[in-house]
């Protein structure tokens, strides 16, 4: 094994750690930002799930000894036993595992976050294990991503794994990008965003004076969604950082961060790609503030990770040798019935004229703590929803308002975060008392740790039976577009923010 190959792998992790540390304080900010260096200045590497998961996967694979294989079932067991992150798709994945699902159903079922960045950020390990072999790197990436994502959430990780694998053997960025997109299906919006970003940058830079801010705005105009971690727009920012940075490490990771949104992830990916392509591009001034120590979040459990990035590099290279000649994994689709995971409720409809909850688009002044939710309509029936996240059209409403009762039971007294996110006018009562409501048009971020204002409350509830009563207002058709409502109910542990399992009545 050549020294230069080890240098590329080490530089991959150095670039990942530097970019993640730079971008972490700016995660979720809209931008544009104006960074030229760390701000604030770090006193060491910042732990980041971008790298945490890859350390976990490497340690888990290492434990397999001579029988090492990249396998979704290995990863799903590690999720269950060793991952305590409650965030977004991670939390949904853990809930789906607890409910008995297997991958890829753990990633695709009842998951609002299928197109989050959580898998794309885990791509470098597969490239390092399959350098110069983009197809194998993408196959490895599928085994990883299908555990908690679907669609573009998987394709984004495969795109980056192919890109980084090609970067081990190619020196031209355009060639590397061509190899990466060759593995994406035509329907992929990641493919569209990458192609658009490349075209917009070429148009902006026709005279060598390209302006990344102009291209950033084009990406937002075409692909913006209110979830800062959405993979499509962030893939655009990642590619823009690589293109506009022109191979300059510091400039590239700063542009990715300055684009805003999921900044730690985009900067970390840009840093790793450039590290693989040219290890010498990482200036010492970027490394000095964070050092070589490997920092892993304490919520990654039951492993003993290497102490340094150099030690992690050696572990990855050892795994590569042990995987050499192994069979490439195949993306076999396993179908499981989810009928028994339906949520049991009672649903009825009535006219807004007789129920003074909403007047036009304004709220009636209901104070938190008021009792007596609207009584059940006479037409109330039992209804089983396919999951906790649902989408309804205006035609699904039999009248102005939908009344819904959701029973649940707790095994013991505990702190609970009650969340009900919706894009509709919403009111919610818990055990007969009003707790929150919101107007239509608000953001949907259905995760206990990230729920927007007016979509959650923290309470301590006794053991036994409880009930939610929710009233949703029928959406209005706008122009030629039929009105549509999304809603998601999640009950989270008030301390860990993990989704509670086994508390809702199931079909």
Rg (C-alpha) for the chain, rounded Å, is 24
pLDDT of residue 235: 98
Give residue 361's pLDDT: 41
CB under 8 Å, gap of 24 or more: what pairs does 173-179 form? 173/242, 173/243, 173/247, 173/277, 176/273, 176/277, 177/239, 177/242, 179/134
Side-chain half-sphere of 20: how many Cα atoms within 13 Å?
A: 25
Quick one: 207 exposed, middle or buried, by C-beta within 10 A (0-12, 13-18, 19+)? exposed
> Cβ(277)–Cβ(28) under 8 Å?
no
In a 13 Å sphere around the CA of 161, the CA atoms on its Cβ side amount to 31
Q: How high is the pLDDT of residue 356?
A: 58
DSSP state, 336?
A: -
Instruction: Say how far apart CA 266 and CA 16 lie, in whole Å.
Output: 10
Please name which of 124, 153, 136 lies closest in space to residue 13, comparing C-alpha atoms. Answer: 124
Residues 6 or more apart whose CB falls under 8 angstroms from that of 76 comprise 97, 102, 103, 106, 147
Q: Give which of 325, 255, 346, 296 is closest to 82, Cα–Cα.
A: 296
Q: Are 11 and 276 in contact (CB under 8 A)?
A: yes
- Spell out the per-residue pLDDT of the chain, length 507, in tens: 454 899 999 999 999 999 999 999 999 999 999 999 999 999 999 999 999 999 999 999 999 998 999 999 999 999 999 999 999 999 999 999 999 999 999 999 999 999 999 999 999 999 999 999 999 999 999 999 999 999 999 999 999 999 999 999 999 999 999 999 999 999 999 999 999 999 999 999 988 899 999 999 999 999 999 999 999 999 999 999 999 999 999 999 999 999 999 999 999 999 999 999 999 999 999 999 999 999 999 999 999 999 999 999 999 999 999 999 899 998 777 789 999 999 999 999 988 765 556 544 444 445 555 667 889 999 999 999 999 999 999 999 999 899 999 999 999 999 999 999 999 989 999 999 999 988 888 889 999 999 999 999 999 999 999 999 999 999 886 555 568 899 999 999 999 999 999 999 999
* 440 three-state secondary structure: coil
Strand partners, 346: 382, 405
DSSP 448-476: TTTPPTTSEEEEEE-SEEEEEEEEEEPPP
Peptide bond into 461 cis (omega under 30): no
Q: Which of 229, 20, 26 is nearest to 117 (CA)?
A: 229
Task: Supply the CATH classification number for the domain 339-493.
Answer: 2.60.120
Q: What is the pLDDT of residue 277?
A: 97
- Residue ranges of the chain that CATH labels 1.10.4080.10: 3-323
What stretches of 34-188 show up as alpha helix (H) in DSSP?
A: 49-63, 72-82, 88-98, 105-108, 124-129, 134-145, 152-167, 173-181
| Element spanning 239, H or E | helix 231-245
Decide: 47 and 78 in contact? Cβ < 8 Å. no
**3-state DSSP call for residue 72?**
helix
In the three-class reduction of DSSP (H, G, I as helix; E, B as strand; rest coil), residue 253 is classed as helix
Phi-psi region at 418: left, alpha or beta (left = phi > 0; alpha = psi -120 to 50): beta
Residue 351 has φ and ψ, to the nearest 5°, of -80, 140
Q: What are phi and psi of 345, to 5 degrees?
A: -140, 175
Q: Is 172 exposed, middle or buried (0-12, 13-18, 19+ CB in 10 A)?
A: exposed
Q: Are 295 and 47 in contact (CB under 8 A)?
A: yes
**Segments of the chain assigned to CATH 2.60.120:** 339-493
Q: Which residues fall within 8 angstroms of residue 207, CB to CB, at 6 or more apart?
A: none
What is the CATH number assigned to the segment(s) 3-323?
1.10.4080.10
pLDDT at 439: 85
The answer to whether 162 touches 180, Cβ cutoff 8 Å, is yes
Per-residue model confidence (pLDDT) at position 352: 73
């Amino acid at each position: 094994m050549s020294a230069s190959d080890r240098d590329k792998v080490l530089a991959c992790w150095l670039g990942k750690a530097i970019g993640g540390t730079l971008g972490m304080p700016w995660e979720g900010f809209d931008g544009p930002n104006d960074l030229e260096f760390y701000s604030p200045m770090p006193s060491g590497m910042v732990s980041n799930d971008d790298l945490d998961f890859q350390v976990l996967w490497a340690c888990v694979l290492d434990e397999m000894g001579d029988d090492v294989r990249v396998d979704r079932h290995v990863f799903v067991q590690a999720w269950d036993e060793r991952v305590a992150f409650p965030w977004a798709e991670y939390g949904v994945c853990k809930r789906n595992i607890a409910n008995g699902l297997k991958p890829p159903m753990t990633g695709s079922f009842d998951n609002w976050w299928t197109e989050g960045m959580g898998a794309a950020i885990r791509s470098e390990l597969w490239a390092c294990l399959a350098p110069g072999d983009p197809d194998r790197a993408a196959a490895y990436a599928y085994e990883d991503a299908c555990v908690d994502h679907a669609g573009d959430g998987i394709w984004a990780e495969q795109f980056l794994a192919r890109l980084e694998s090609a970067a081990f053997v190619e020196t031209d960025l355009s060639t590397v990008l061509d190899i990466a997109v060759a593995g994406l299906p035509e329907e992929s919006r990641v493919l569209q965003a990458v192609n658009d970003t490349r075209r917009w940058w070429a148009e902006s830079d026709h005279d060598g004076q390209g302006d990344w801010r102009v291209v950033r705005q084009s990406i937002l105009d075409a692909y913006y969604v209110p979830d800062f971690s959405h993979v499509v727009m962030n893939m655009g920012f990642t590619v823009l950082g690589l293109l506009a940075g022109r191979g300059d490490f510091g400039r590239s990771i700063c542009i990715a961060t300055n684009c805003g949104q999921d900044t730690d992830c985009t900067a970390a990916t840009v840093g790793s790609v450039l590290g693989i392509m040219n290890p010498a591009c990482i200036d010492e001034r970027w490394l000095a503030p964070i050092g070589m120590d490997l920092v892993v979040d304490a919520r990654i459990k039951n492993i003993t990770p290497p102490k340094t990035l150099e030690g992690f590099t050696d572990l990855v290279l050892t795994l590569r040798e042990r995987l050499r000649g192994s069979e490439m994994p195949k993306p076999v689709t396993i179908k499981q019935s989810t009928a028994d995971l339906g949520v049991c409720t009672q649903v009825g409809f009535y006219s807004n004229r007789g129920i003074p909850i909403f007047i036009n688009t304004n709220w009636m002044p209901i104070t938190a703590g008021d009792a007596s939710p609207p009584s059940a309509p006479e037409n109330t029936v039992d209804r089983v929803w396919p999951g906790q996240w649902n989408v309804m059209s205006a035609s699904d409403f039999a009248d102005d308002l939908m009344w819904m009762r959701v029973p649940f039971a707790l095994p013991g007294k505990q702190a609970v975060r009650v969340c009900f996110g919706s894009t509709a006018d919403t009111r919610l009562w818990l055990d007969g008392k009003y707790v929150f409501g919101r107007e239509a048009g608000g953001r949907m971020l259905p995760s206990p740790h990230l729920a927007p204002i007016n979509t959650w409350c923290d309470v301590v509830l006794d053991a036994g039976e409880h009930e939610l009563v929710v009233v949703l207002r029928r959406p209005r058709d706008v122009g030629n577009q039929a009105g549509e409502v999304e809603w998601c109910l999640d009950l989270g542990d008030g301390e860990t923010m993990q989704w509670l399992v086994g508390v809702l009545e199931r079909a």
